Structure 1
Amino acid sequence: MGYGKKNVIKIDPLSYNIGLIGESGIGKTTIIKEMCEKLAGEDGYIFLECGKEDGADGINGINYLNCPEWSMDYDELTNSIGFEDFIDDVVENKTTEYPNLKTVVIDTYDQLLEISKPEVIRMHNSENPDKPVKSIKAAFGGYMAGEDKATEIVLDKLWELKTVGVHFIIIGHVKQRQQDDVATGQTYTSLTTNMSMRDFNAIKTKLHFLGVASIDREIVQEKTGKTKKEKGKDIDIMKGVITKESRKITFRDDSYSIDSKSRFADIVPEIPFDVDELIKALTDAIKTEASKGSKSISDLEKEQKAAEAERMKQIAEVEASNKVKKELDEINSKIKEFCTVNKSKPAVLKPLIEAAKACGLKNPMAAEDVETAKKILSAVA
């Protein structure tokens, strides 16, 4: 049989990987929170405040968790959990514990990479006990292999979310950076990420939309009332004065001085920093692309809503099956441990073996359903 099919544009903006980077304090967390609530409701999103990021502290009503480390148990007092632990919980319990969750917001992505680095060092030392390292730069042979492993495990976890229909939004900071043009070799100034370009490009290539939030200032030159001598003449000393400033988000910059991106050709290049303008920009770009097909937007929305419901049904079935398997494995593991500890004590093992025989099994660890395994374990529990 032949493989492959034509892509159908998904209408919901939260079905895509979105990034927003910008100056500190410009309002990135707030506008993404407002966008998520308008598109998915108050329980349709969750912010993960990674590492030392604490932007959620100043926003009333935001749905969030602190993720100060890669792996840790949930601490109710500080509302903290390991990043990996949260992702695993969503994947294992999507339809029961997170039925309305559509997107997870990473605030900020650079801090997520930071908390992944100790995990990479731990992984290296576990795999190479004779050659332990203390630095990410020395992990897995060095030469950036440790940093690349950090990116790998982060992306792997984010893609696990996609298996249960949850997408992600990343937030990050910016700085001005001198960059070299590949074609001409000339140097130019760009407003881009504050991360290493290696780390940034690894996630940038995975995004459908990348907006850059900045402040647009109008500056005029005014006299200071002072003069200076130039060629024997008194020249007025001028200074730049800000007459107007406004926040904006850039999705496409033809001068390439702002490091933005969109995989949708018809995205508006720039918008005011406003949640409704943000939603409109994403939605319009998506719908314009979708309208190039043969189906109407309303038909696509109906079909995709029905397909999503069917997918959630399938995910629920897999989720339930996995939970049963996990419970069975845990019980059989306890039976195995009991047999191992008491292998030289036939009298102790006898009730277990008899319980297995009563269930039609020669091996007490061979139960294929939870109820049978429980009956066998209850003989010695």
Structure 2
Amino acid sequence: MPMDVSRLLLEARQCLDSGQYDSATSKLEKVLAVVPESAESHVEALVHLGEILWQRGKYEEARDILKKAQELGEKRGYVSLSARAQRLTGNTLIDQGFGQLAERAYRTALEMFESVDDARGIARAYNNLGIISVDKGNFVDALRYYEQSLNMHRELGDEVGTGMCLNNIGEIHRFKGEYELAEGLYQESLVGDTERGDRYGQAICWGNLGAVSYGRKEYSKAEERVQRAVQIFNRLGTRDLVYVEIRGLLVGIMAATKRFAEGQIHLDAIWDAAEGLNSDAADIICNFYGGLLAQRQWNLSFARKHYNNCLELSKRARSFEFVLLSLMQLVEIEMLHYRVTGEDEYLEAMRNTLHQALDLAQRHNLHGPLVELMVLNALFHVESQNPEQGLEFLAEAKEVCHKKGF
């Protein structure tokens, strides 16, 4: 009986979307074994296989497969498939911290999608360009791209794309400290992922919801949510960048609740995953949480080393979020070092780092980080023997909290 290639490809796509990567790979390999390279279904199978390798954090292997798919697609005139391979190549690059190369790939893919009026491809590319804009700290452009992508996905009835956009818009609101808005968007995405049986999507939503609770310092709730995400990743066998990012939250939670031994277990786990990814983005996350765990145990020199590593990598990868987060933690480190030693060089370093962080938060209208920095600014003035000025900054921080509902 002849193989039903179209059915196999559809089933493979469904398995891929629900995180059943082994089943999807098995079906795709069957297609590749019997369909000639010149056939459109062969190129489509390669694109799906490249996507699975990307999701699993096997970036070099993914790029090799996607390059072959792109070349075959261009040779045979399968423009949309070639563009998809180009866009997914961008995904592998951004996960490794190569933002400029990723942006180039996304813009090339967008042009290709537009040339054949591929609405779904255009919507996906807009979403990717939104991620690039976030990494640059350009939240206005990011929201514009995300909202364009969201509207197009909804018109197409593309629930997977809709869920991605909801999560990404939620990320902007969470980083700005607008937790209620972020929570609502993540919950909406979670409902859709659950109805579709998309386990990978559910893991992302639970991790993002955990990040909201972590930001609110609701550590018990945060731990419960993040653990649900990690359990799903474990069942899927996923050790990609998203796994590193979400499990990293558990390091932060353990540090905040002084469960340092447990925190070290989670830190070791994300370092192990990062080593297999060859990714600056993963190393950024590991260094940040390594610094956080060391700081909470008063190993200030070790924490400083990790935060500086995180800052250097973040600047190289143009990861705006972790540039700001690293600077904020370094402000705390300088203050703590000054309190321990009484040496003015630490107070001066605190002032300089604080001004850099405040400038970023104010320029990008990030109220959540701004409140924390205003409190640190108040503490700086107290340490500088200027308590009256410190009280003024605390009053300003309180006013911002009141206005924003923090």
TM-score range relative to shorter protein: under 0.3
Structure with greater helix share of residues = 2
Structure with greater strand share of residues = 1
* TM-score, structure 2 as length reference: 0.23
Considering Cα pairs closer than 8 Å and 6+ residues apart, tell me whether 1 or 2 has the greater RCO: 1
Larger radius of gyration: 1
